[in-house]
Amino acid sequence: MWGYGERRYRIFFFALLMIGIYARMFHGADWGDKASLN
For the question of whether the overall pTM of this predicted structure is more than 0.75, the answer is no
Does position 13 have pLDDT exceeding 80, yes or no? Answer: yes
Q: How far apart are the first and last CA of the chain?
A: 29
pLDDT for 22 equals 85
For 24, residues 6+ apart whose C-beta sits below 8 A from its C-beta are 31, 32
pLDDT bracket for residue 26 (50, 70, 90) = confident
Domain locations along the chain: 6-37
Question: What are the percentages of helix, strand and coil residues in the chain, rounded to 5?
Answer: 80, 0, 20
Does position 1 have pLDDT exceeding 60, yes or no? Answer: no
pLDDT for 36 equals 59
